[in-house]
Amino acid sequence: MESSSSSSVIIFLLLFFLCNFSSVTSKHSDADFQTTYARLCNTVVPASPLLDDAGPVHGVAESLRFESGYFSGGDRFFNQSAALSHSKHASLRVTSVQRTGTDGVYALRGHVILRQRGGVGSIRGRLLRVKVFPGRRVSHWRSQQWMRASLSGFWSQSSGKLCMFGNGSSGNVVLKLRYPSRNVTIFDNLVNGTLESFDDRNSLQYFEPISILALSQSSDYKFTLVGNDKGNGCVAGSDGEEDLSLGNLSQGACASFNGHIDRFELEYGSQCRDVSCNPLGAGVEKLPDFMHFYATRCVEKRKVQMLLGFPDSTYADFVFPFHPNTTLISEGVWDEKKNQLCAGVCRILNFTGSSVNVGDCSIKLNLRFPAVLSLRNRSTVLGHIWSDKAVGESGYFSKIGFQGSWRGWQVSSGLQYKYTEIERVRKSCTEKMMAGGKGKIYPDGHSSDAAFNMLVTNTKGQVAQGYSSPLFVGDQSYGGPSYRLPSMLTTGNLKPHNIQHDNLLNVSYTMSFRPPPDFKFGSEVSSTKVKIGAEGMYNRNTGFLCMVGCRPLRSTGKILAKNESLDCEIMVNVQFPPLNAKAGESLKGTIESTRQKSDPHYFDPLKLSSYSIYTSQADASIWRMDLEIILVMISNTLACVFVGLQLLHVKKHPDLLPHISVVMLVVITLGHMIPLMLNFEALFKPKHNSAQNAFLWTGGWLEVNEVVVRMVTMVAFLLELRLVHLTWSSRQGEGSEPGLWVSEKRVLQMTLPLYISGGLTAWFVHIWKNSRQKRYEPLHLSRHFRSPRIHLPQPPSLWEDLRSYAGLLQDGFLLPQILYNMLVNSEGKALAFVFYVGTTIVRILPHAYDLYRAHSFAWYLDSSYIYANHRMDFYSTAWDIIIPIGGLLFALIVYFQQRFGSRSILPKRFRETSSYEKVPAIGNDNL
């Protein structure tokens, strides 16, 4: 009683001390914050006391944050190479906003991140001395340089000023920003300021001031360049071509424009040879190749604010390339009469750390969605950008075209395709189109089988990987995989080309491949992505596809005449394999130039090949999965039956319970406990990606049967647990033999080092296999394009290899019992024949099935393994032979031990040793 009360007093004193220590620490921290803030920020935004009972603050955090800002300076931390200027990104995220005693002043918490990133060869990094700072470690080489700090401070809504300080990877820093005030327009819609270090100048963490520029996300924004009497700037029409209206956009203009970063290819006309065509100004010599389009806000379902970026062609980051010298700010409005987005564009002028100006809004832009696609026009977006100034005036540039595909664009109706080369295809491929195919079934043109991955091989044997997909099939857009436009029916007045035979389909394709750096294509080495648009005819009875193709000849940034921009002297032939293709049959084809060899645009024939995954093969794999579920349920049910029969056996012969090895029973029990634990983990950490889930769900009843499998596994686990409990309890009584536990410990001492050494071996083999695969795997063939008939999975993780090793231990579950029998020299049949033989058969059947599966199924997914899972045991041709032989050998040894004696398998000199015998107890009655 005294002990209990004294413990309560100690706990109370401990809690009291902790509460007071926390309070003192908090007060000390608040005092330090007030002192430091007064020194650094009071002249920017005076500090104000917090209001504890204030309600939540809405909209402030969203209006203050920015993601794709720009920064300059900080030479001590960031490489100042001009080539990296577009890879500098600044972001600010406000995580907490609290009201204060001063109206319009808010207390903030958040973090700022500055990141400079480049591709291979773009950031060389600097050689730094390895030194550990508080909370920061500087590496030898840094291909990505970054700075992060957690900050606290205040923001004044009336002045737009923000001041926050804190520390992070760059030491102690203070952030000072100026936001636009009320009634924000395009001319004052930028955030600018500095990030400074307030460490000692001699400190290794000190850096020079960094200037920051970003676009404000304020909700109090007024459109001033569009939607008024001055006009919208749509003076450049679409040359009479039909365009889609706003009603064709299924989600409206705002949902289609806002939040997407798209890249459009710039096209320079022949007039650019005589006048300036550089949107960045006359001082920049090289013409930009691409325009990056980023819609930052949209209101009234029509008005859009945009950023237009013109970085170097090597830019490949996922963030918008915001740079004051190459970024334009724009406002646009959708013109319902002209079916165009019409915009005014301004430049960013005079950016410094303390001020920034926006002006020179004489630039115009229009953007439209063509209603008709064709072989020579595959772009879903077309537009122009030009200067409204007079020729020769400062800042003037001539009209520039741009085109591309709009990722955020969703179409509901109206899009059509016009076939222009069908007659040419008929003349070239009539004989090939009608030959062969008797008695075979080929993919339908509308099915997902029409799209395929491909390997493109040139005459020198060099291989490039690519993808091909239909664009339109007949007058209907293709809705298969990896297609940018949604599936819908055309509703326009354009009549589809008449088809003479029902088995012939008019089709259009998009084909692209990315060659390796040394790929020989035509008269020069090509390392950029090759795109080919094609249209022609497909025969569903023969599986033959014949098309005329066009590839762009223009190099972005170069001036070419319009009739020189495409090479349409290309023929594409593809022979699809039948749906019931046998092993070795695959898609084959060619891409050939019909030009003369002396023509500069001629290229040697390219060979196409692919192992397409047909839906029939997927159906066969799903059938296999259903079969494997049945096999799993049968195996687990048999395991329950065999354990149940062993329980009946020991119930009839309870004196045999002590002669069963506990180590063996633990190994068997873990064999069913591990799958249960893994399934429980999968409930919280699903590992299948969306594509795999889509495939697995097509099995229909897969998920339901998984629940049944788990239930049966649980029953087997509980029965085995009961057997472990009975065996353990049989050795706890007063009359139990003392030497049994000694023998059990010796079994553990013999098996545990064996198991551990096997695990270490599995670990070393895992490291060796991974290093070997990385060394010898061909660089030009990614996993996505490998043959599905050849099993080349990603290297398994260490955890997966150890799980496979655990499966091997379960295959040899009888080893501890064999050792225990020899040590105890027990007599009698402790294990029922049906138990150890039946369990052995259950363990070796998956390996027999794996041999059958390897020779009977042409295609499979690693994630679809249910029975004989490669990630739960060792499976290969060698293991599928070794493991069953070993399991049967162990079962045969147990049989001989229980029939002829536990040590009958040993030489005679090892058979005779002392054994433990029962001594009759002497009762009091005999005294």
Express as a percent the part of the chain with pLDDT over 70.
70
* pLDDT single digits (tens) 750-787: 888 888 887 788 787 777 766 655 443 433 333 333 33
**Which of 525-534, 592-601, 624-633, 735-744 is least confident?**
735-744
pLDDT tens readout for residues 216-245: 988 889 998 886 545 555 655 555 678 888
Instruction: Kindly state the average pLDDT of the residues 720-727.
Output: 87
CA angle 531, 535, 537 (to 5 degrees): 140
The reply to whether domains 28-215 and 422-612 share a CATH topology is: yes
What pLDDT sits at residue 186? 92
Q: Which of 654, 670, 672 is nearest to 816 (CA)?
A: 670
Domain boundaries, the chain: 28-215, 246-404, 422-612, 616-732+740-904
DSSP string for residues in 377-438: B--SEEEEEEE-SPTTSTT----EEEEE--TT--B-S--EEE---HHHHHHHHHHHHHSS-T
Assigned token pair, 283: 């001082």
Asked if 506 and 419 count as a contact pair (C-beta separation under 8 A), the reply is: yes
* Cβ atoms of residues 212 and 69 within 8 Å: yes
DSSP assignment of 95-158 equals: EEEEEBSSTTEEEEEEEEEEEEE--TTT---------EETTEE--S--SEEEEEEEEEEEEETT
| Residue 126 pLDDT level (bands cut at 50, 70, 90) | very low
- For the cut 80, the answer to whether the pLDDT of residue 24 exceeds it is no
Q: Are 170 and 144 in contact (CB under 8 A)?
A: no
CATH T-level fold of 28-215? Lipocalin (2.40.128)
- Residue 775: the pLDDT is 42
Q: Which CATH architecture has domain 422-612?
A: Beta Barrel (2.40)
Place of tokens 């990141």: 115
- pLDDT digit string (tens) for 27-57? 446 778 999 999 999 999 999 998 877 677 8
Cβ neighbours, 10 Å, residue 373: 20
**Percent of the chain whose pLDDT exceeds 90:** 23
Distance from the Cα of residue 684 to its chain's centroid: 19
Residue 432 has pLDDT above 70, yes or no: yes
- Spatial distance between the Cα atoms of 622 and 54, rounded to a whole number of angstroms: 58
Q: Which helix (H) or strand (E) holds 873?
A: none
pLDDT in tens, 60-108: 999 999 988 999 888 777 765 544 566 789 999 999 999 999 999 999 9
The position carrying tokens 């048999």 is 638
Coil/strand/helix, residue 362: strand
User: ∠ CA(365), CA(371), CA(377), 5° rounding?
Assistant: 80
pLDDT score for 733 = 64
pLDDT tens track for 61-72: 999 999 889 998
Tell me the residue length of the chain.
927
pLDDT reported for residue 38: 93
CATH fold for the domain made of 246-404? Porin (2.40.160)
Structure tokens at 734: 């007063």
Q: What is the pLDDT of residue 436?
A: 65
d(CA 440, CA 438): 6
Band of pLDDT at residue 166, cut at 50, 70 and 90: very high
Q: What is the mean pLDDT of residues 519-536?
A: 80
